[in-house]
Copies of this chain bind each other. A is one copy, B any other.
Amino acid sequence: MLSEFDLIKQYFVRRPPNLPPNSPPGRAVLGIGDDCALLAPAPGRQLAVSSDMLVEGRHFFAGADPFTLGHKCLAVNLSDLAAMGAAPLGFTLALALPAADPDWLAGFSRGLFALADAHGCELVGGDTTKGPLNVCITIFGDVAPGRALRRDAARAGDDVWISGTLGDARLALAHYLDEVRLDAPALALAAPRMHAPTPRVALGRLLADGGLAHAALDISDGLAGDIGHILAASRVGAVLDVDALPAGPVLARQPQALRRRFAAAGGDDYELCFTAPAARRAAIVAAGAQCGVPVTRVGAITAEPGLRWVDADGAPLDLALQGWDHFTNG
């Protein structure tokens, strides 16, 4: 039977770590296997830290493919670094497992490390225990002082931008919940948006390092709810054009009402929503092109508080939309 230490050694310890040659400074001085990992952040830099906990039956279906799950658990954390404009350094992994299943562990660790290696992000420590399946990752990134894309930095007059496309993750979920029916090719296109989101790390770093954006966050609970955090922290409002939202390719073929609802308040998008002065428009489009991520201008920050929606003609819309809340929705 696989012991706790065999499990860690077999699936999660890798010496030397497989890092790309252009990895940022500040790697772990001491990794897995001691009471703590030791990190030496680069002098004069700040460390960005975020935790996300994913629970079976809530953030992923029971029986979810372990490779994809390994990817997703790290992706949602990398997405938080992206939303600060930080460069990934390392992460800890705490894992509660009902049993030490070698097939599951092999798939999970391969999915996890495939994404970690792509971002030069090192597993430095963690914990394993028996319990209902729960994955908690805490991630560390590196950012220059004053450059982080904070939620409290939006200014009246800023453009509001969205990376990539919205709503296809929610559309795939709707299919699984029998709310809509997608044909097989449509599901094949939408499902990876739900199961294996792509964190916009390169774009976030370009926006931060270049001083291109003011505020940013990653959209996990739906744009309509999430942008409220920027508006509250920055004490501003926004006008957003619901028809300008970049619907995913599968969602774009759905009826208008569904398209608007899932683009504006779908959830699980893991795209960046950021605000930036109008003078940066060309540079932002160039940054998007540089990392292969389309960027779309969807509205503006206003001095007047509150979120207002308009349609393609600029007419006000009364959208009853809200983000996902784990306790009131749950």
Contact = CB atoms under 8 A, between A and B. Distances in A.
How many copies of this chain? Answer: 2
Interface string A1-42: 111110100000000000000000000011001111111110
Contacts of A216: 35
A256 interface: no
Contact of A132 (B2, B51, B55): B55
A96 B217 CA distance: 23
Nearest to A1: B328
Contact of A37 (B30, B48, B93, B127): B48
A80 B50 contact: no
A51 B138 contact: yes
A125 interface: yes
Contact of A134 (B81, B96, B124, B138): B96
Nearest to A37: B49
A46 B29 contact: yes
Interface string A72-102: 0000000011011010000011111101100
Interface stretch (A142-150, A161-169, A279-287, A296-304): A142-150
A227 interface: no
Given A58-B130, A136-B53, A33 B81 contact: no
Contacts of A46: 29, 38-40
A36 B58 contact: no
Contacts of A129: 53-55, 58-59, 326
Contact of A327 (B2, B38, B58, B145): B2
Contact of A94 (B136, B218, B325): B136
A275 to B, nearest CB: 14
B326 A148 contact: no
B217 A35 contact: yes
Interface in A120-142: 124-132, 134, 136, 138-141
8 contacts: A34-B150, A37-B48, A38-B47, A43-B44, A52-B127, A55-B129, A58-B130, A132-B132
